[in-house]
Amino acid sequence: MQNIRIAYSIDEAAEFTGIGRNTLRKLIEWKKLPVLKVGRKLLIRGDTLEAFLRLNEGRDLRDQNVVRGIDLYSE
């Protein structure tokens, strides 16, 4: 059985996706990837992370102009 995570820290999300920590931090700074802030810790919901990856498949995540952000209010 697969262990399903509700949320990931930056380090955990980097390990899970293979995206570098600095790139994830940039995506958050650019407001492309929404997070939940708990104190100083940033958490990324697992379903949000998967949706972000699907939305940006084939795009260069280091280029702010081509990365598509997740709209949490579209649902």
Q: What is the pLDDT of residue 74?
A: 54
Tell me the torsion sign for CA atoms 7, 11, 16, 18.
Answer: positive
Spatial CB neighbours of 12, under 8 Å, sequence gap ≥ 6:
5
pTM: predicted TM-score of the whole model, two decimal places: 0.86
CA distance 65 to 18: 21
Tell me the torsion sign for CA atoms 37, 38, 42, 44.
Answer: negative
Domains observed in the chain: 1-75 (1.10.1660.10)
Q: What is the pLDDT of residue 22?
A: 97
pLDDT in tens, 14-72: 999 999 999 999 999 999 999 999 999 999 999 999 999 999 999 999 999 999 999 87
